[in-house]
Amino acid sequence: SMAGTGRRSIGGKGAGRAAAPMTQTAGTFLPIRELSPYTNGRWKIKARVVAKGEIRKFSNARGEGQLFKVDLKDKSGEIAGTFFGRAVDIFYPMLQQGQVYCFTRGSIKAGNPRWDRSEHVITFEEHSTIEAAENDEGIPGQTFDFRPLCELEQMATNTLVDVKAVLFSVQEPYTFTARTSGKEMTKRELGLWDASGGDGGRTSELVLWGDKALGRFEVGSVVFLKDARVNEWNGSKTLASPMNIEMNPDAPEAFQLRARFEEQQRIRPIVGAARGGGGGQRKSIEEIKAEDVNLGVAVPGQAFEQGGPRMANRHFAVATVTSVPADRLPCYPSCPESVDAKPRLGAEATQQPEKRQCAKKCMQEGDGVWRCAMGHVCQQPQYRYICRMQVMDHTDSTEINMFDEVGKKLFGCEASEYAQAFEGDGVEHINKNVLWRRISMRMRSTKEVWQENERVKLNVEEAGDVDFRKEAKQMLAEVHASLGVAGS
């Protein structure tokens, strides 16, 4: 039995060498600072897991894979560790953040400055050996190198930063199916505020994915983020996927920040979605139009200008549909051919190209076949929704564009059924599902030049019935914020 030895094996059966007890004394541990790809022999380190990331699934040419990352720290320094494949199943449930372990049998390589903050990283396989050690007060815990939000815009994309901030907005997590991979994803957007930069402080958006998105977050909470990734979204910097989130830390600087936030809420409440936000907070059509006035016009092939105008806005609104197309189809015959999707930004070169539908418009040819602009030929095109509608709320009205997914949801049937009814008995009974209906919409707006005039295009990315419970909670949060009360 291992009881009473002061160390606990966490490997278990079938876990490589994890079950083998270590007998070395502390003196034989190599300081993390001395680890390098040239480290010879069987090194051992004793380190604290100061941060532990979530499991990420990926797919490449060899199939499906998984990984998770940790930050390891001892008196001499810090190093990132990555677990792949079976090692994830073995070690993810066992490694606890804040605990001290002895590690050996990992391979050390140079870190990728694009992804790693440490100079070297350790890759752990299923045959790595990790065992719990008694807490060692000499090994420091997590330390932060906080950067103010006002510096965010100057940081390079993919930089990992530590941030301390107050949550001024908390959206509900939402789950959707990724268009390219067909996988279910859970996403959540939080609004961060800190007192930096003067003039009431700065805000930024924090995006969380997967399990981390399901945590318990409340407006007014102080968060310490470890290794949050700087992302760029339409020319604006946002933060995503921190390695670790400390909620309401028991630290003087957290209390100070919270006090500054409450003071700020009394003077000028911070309400609404963060800059660079995902359109979480509901806006009126009037507010949307006012915000979109400042959009820049995207020029194809031209890079975003640092600190220039935003190229797109996200909005969330509730409005009533006041007109649907009556004299023409709200859909078109599309090409069903499968083609390679454009590789996503940041996708690894080893990944197989994703597939998507060609979806170009088909024209019927004399011989009964259909042909798209790419030259694909098919017997039966697939109808897809694409239409414009008018919507109105208590402030204004506007035109919106919607595409197949949203169309199916609102009309309540496939576009092919609509096309059939259009040729046959008429579409009044289908249009009734949409006309005069009050809907909630997530939209993306962009500005384009059309016949020498600038115009704003509002594309609906998600639509559905109004969630009164969520709506009420949001409005209550706004009331609280305007009263200077932090609460959710």
Least distance (Å) between residue 381 CB and Zn ion: 9
> In the complex with Zn ion, which residue's Cβ is closer, 185 or 377?
377
CA distance from start to end of the chain: 49
DSSP tag of 267: H
Q: Is 188 strand, coil or helix? A: strand
> In the complex with Zn ion, which residue's Cβ is closer, 376 or 473?
376
Least distance (Å) between residue 473 CB and Zn ion: 45
Distance set, CA 319 to CA 73, 330, 400, 439 (Å): 53, 20, 11, 6
Least distance (Å) between residue 163 CB and Zn ion: 46
Contact 222, 248 (CB under 8 A): yes
Number of H-type helices and E-type strands within the chain: 7, 25
Beta 397-403 vs 382-392: how paired, if at all? antiparallel
Least distance (Å) between residue 360 CB and Zn ion: 5
For the record, the structure tokens of 169 come out as: 């907005």
Q: Long-range contacts for 348-352 (Cβ within 8 Å, ≥24 apart)?
A: 348/58, 348/60, 350/60, 350/61, 350/62, 351/58, 351/59, 351/60, 351/61, 352/59, 352/60, 352/61
> In the complex with Zn ion, which residue's Cβ is closer, 108 or 358?
358
What string of DSSP letters covers 468-488? Answer: HHHHHHHHHHHHHHHTT----
The whole-angstrom distance between residue 201's C-alpha and the CA centroid of its chain comes to 24
> In the complex with Zn ion, which residue's Cβ is closer, 44 or 376?
376
Least distance (Å) between residue 355 CB and Zn ion: 13
> In the complex with Zn ion, which residue's Cβ is closer, 55 or 358?
358
Q: What is the per-residue burial (b if ≥16 Cβ within 10 Å, else e) of 227-254?
A: bbbbbbbbbbbbbbbbbbbbeeeeeeeb
Q: 197: how many CB neighbours lie within 10 A of its CB?
A: 14
Least distance (Å) between residue 372 CB and Zn ion: 3
> In the complex with Zn ion, which residue's Cβ is closer, 337 or 414?
337
Amino acid present at 438? R
Least distance (Å) between residue 311 CB and Zn ion: 28
Least distance (Å) between residue 338 CB and Zn ion: 9
- C-alpha closest to that of 448 among 298, 281, 246, 294: 298
Least distance (Å) between residue 481 CB and Zn ion: 50
> In the complex with Zn ion, which residue's Cβ is closer, 301 or 375?
375
Contact 324, 337 (CB under 8 A): no
> In the complex with Zn ion, which residue's Cβ is closer, 114 or 355?
355
Q: How far apart are CA 101 and CA 8, in angstroms?
A: 9
> In the complex with Zn ion, which residue's Cβ is closer, 186 or 357?
357
Extract the runs of DSSP E, i.e. beta strands, from 96-170: 100-110, 120-132, 160-170
What string of DSSP letters covers 434-463? Answer: TTT-EEEEEEEEEEEEETTEEEEEEEEEEE
> In the complex with Zn ion, which residue's Cβ is closer, 231 or 334?
334
The whole-angstrom distance between residue 184's C-alpha and the CA centroid of its chain comes to 13
Binding region for Zn ion (CB under 5 A): 335, 337, 358, 360, 372, 374, 376
Q: 104: how many CB neighbours lie within 10 A of its CB?
A: 20
> In the complex with Zn ion, which residue's Cβ is closer, 229 or 376?
376
- C-alpha closest to that of 72 among 50, 98, 39, 92: 50
Least distance (Å) between residue 336 CB and Zn ion: 8
Amino acid present at 238? T
Least distance (Å) between residue 377 CB and Zn ion: 9
> In the complex with Zn ion, which residue's Cβ is closer, 367 or 423?
367
Least distance (Å) between residue 406 CB and Zn ion: 22
